[in-house]
Amino acid sequence: MDHLLWSIAVASEWANPAGLDLHVDFDPDAAGGRRAGLELALRTAIRDGRLAPGARLPATRALAEELGVARGTVTAAYGQLVAEGYLAARRGAGTVVARAPDHGSRERGTRPEPPRVRHDLYPGRPDVSAFPVQAWLNAARRVLPRVEPAAFALDDPRGRPELRTALAEYLGRTRGVVADPDDIVVTSGFLQALGLVARVLHDRGCTHVAMEDPCVPFHREVVRRAGPEVVPLPVDGVGAAGSVPADAGAVVLTPAHQAMLGVVLGPSRRRRLLDWAASTGGLLLEDDYDGELSHDRQRIGALQGMAPGHVAYAGTASKTLGPAVRLGWLVLPRRLVDAVAEAKFYADAQTESIGQLVLAELIHRHDYDRHVRAQRLKYRRRRAQLLRRLATEVPAVRVHGAAAGVQVLLELPPGGPGEAEVVALAAGRGVRVAALGPAWHDQRAAASRRGIVVGYATPADHAWAAALDALVDVLRSAFGR
């Protein structure tokens, strides 16, 4: 008889009224009989990982009825697998998968284990241990009981009107953004926002997009995958330098705090870029990834506020709440709203609604403001500690980009270890940092300026002191006093 695949749905009123679904490859005519066939099917499922440790199996009576075999057959099969260590019988919990014994069926140890990360100082990440759990729960409890049922269905791809309205007020008040709720599209983070805009521009004939050099490397790849080619726009001590390449139809910028070098786009550079957009019809895409987290200066207002018709403003909750929240937003020139909303619909219909409603409530009651302010003060203290330790213990390393955000650039002195060596030395001691080199589009520039980018926000409060000690020890080992 051909091999039979049994998909078993078991419902037992006395053992499991909710029912359990179980799929096993069971051949009732296997050599050795039905008991042997059932043992083999369950044993294989456990070894292959399809039945995970702790997974509960159906009661013997229900499984026997579903398979059309005697209950004793199932009981005996379970007993044999318990004896072999595959299953465990627990009083009050039934029979569960115990473990998957290693009989050499899979290769193990073929790759060396990477060094364990004890101190994560990778740039661009917040302290997610400080996520405002209680405020989030309270907001959810307030908003969900009163929300209309329609909020749980698909609706406007631009996002929930509650969040778009709250964002228009918040961004105008805190970042100087000129925002109408109808011109906002809620996205699943900045990466999606970047990809949507690049795709729409490409559909409208934009073949090249200029991006700061250096920039976050995978942002370049997001633009490329959306269609346009990427051309570099060099960055110097006052931001994006030089003229926009002639073939570029858009420019992606981080004007408040350049993503890798940490510089601020100067006033004359801002005016020149805005003049370019106005004269050519090009678009400036402003990535305001950490504009709320300034430290030793007054916050720089958004570029969008100077020319809303020529700038698309992109913000995100990734640096303030956490990247897993997956909430970002675009404030768009009116001419792009419908096209971006349509692209959003075909990308994923809409960003999930529950998080949007909760964030809108947090903003409305100013809980979001309070959280951002608390995080800003904490990161400011950490930054001050980092700068003080580096200045006194590793003065050969120059620090850039410390005025805002959650990271700094450490420029390495000439003649010593290079980026790769420092990153490897840090990894060997359980410290994770990033090399500046991959951020460059023009590798000639990469050769002229060596550095590592260090985040100071990720460790939880109790782990920060040890992480800072470890980083300073690595740099002292590499460069001494």
CATH value at residue 86: 1.10.10.10
pLDDT at 246: 92
What is the count of structural domains for the chain? 3
* CB proximity list for 146: less than 8 A, separation 6 or greater: none
- Classify residue 160 by burial, with Cβ atoms within 10 Å: 0-12, 13-18, 19+: buried
In this structure, the answer to whether residues 354 and 454 fall within a common structural domain is: no
In this structure, the answer to whether residues 249 and 308 fall within a common structural domain is: yes
pLDDT at 236: 92
Q: Give the helix/strand (H/E) hosting 89.
A: strand 87-90
Q: CB-side exposure of 160: number of CA atoms within 13 Å? A: 24
Q: Is residue 111 part of a domain?
A: no
Question: Which CATH number covers residue 350?
Answer: 3.40.640.10
pLDDT at 481: 61
In this structure, the answer to whether residues 313 and 190 fall within a common structural domain is: yes
Q: How far apart are CA 100 and CA 229, in angstroms?
A: 49
pLDDT at 15: 37
Which one of 337, 367, 397 terminates a domain? Answer: 367
Q: Is residue 1 part of a domain?
A: no
Q: Is residue 172 part of a domain?
A: yes
In this structure, the answer to whether residues 146 and 46 fall within a common structural domain is: no
Q: Is residue 103 part of a domain?
A: no
In this structure, the answer to whether residues 145 and 160 fall within a common structural domain is: yes
pLDDT tens track for 66-124? 888 888 888 888 988 888 889 988 776 688 898 655 544 444 445 555 668 899 999 99
Which residues of the chain carry a pLDDT beneath 50?
A: 1-18, 103-109
Q: Which amino acid is at 333?
A: P
Q: Is residue 54 part of a domain?
A: yes
In this structure, the answer to whether residues 152 and 178 fall within a common structural domain is: yes
pLDDT at 7: 39
What are 132's two structure tokens?
A: 């405002």
What are 246's two structure tokens?
A: 């002639």
pLDDT at 79: 86
Secondary structure E strands in 152-282: 184-187, 208-213, 229-236, 239-240, 250-253
What are 217's two structure tokens?
A: 């490397």
Q: Give the helix/strand (H/E) hosting 80.
A: helix 71-84
Give the Å distances, CA to CA, from 458 to 123, 128, 311. 8, 7, 31
**pTM of the predicted structure, to 2 decimals:** 0.82
What are 121's two structure tokens?
A: 């100082």
Task: Give the domain range for residue 29.
Answer: 6-97
Q: Is residue 273 part of a domain?
A: yes
pLDDT at 108: 46
In this structure, the answer to whether residues 93 and 217 fall within a common structural domain is: no
pLDDT at 19: 56
Q: How far apart are CA 208 and CA 205, in angstroms?
A: 9
In this structure, the answer to whether residues 142 and 289 fall within a common structural domain is: yes
- Classify residue 39 by burial, with Cβ atoms within 10 Å: 0-12, 13-18, 19+: buried
Q: Is residue 105 part of a domain?
A: no
In this structure, the answer to whether residues 309 and 207 fall within a common structural domain is: yes
In this structure, the answer to whether residues 350 and 404 fall within a common structural domain is: no
In this structure, the answer to whether residues 376 and 361 fall within a common structural domain is: no
pLDDT at 111: 56
Q: Is residue 228 part of a domain?
A: yes
pLDDT at 3: 39
pLDDT at 27: 77
In this structure, the answer to whether residues 201 and 226 fall within a common structural domain is: yes
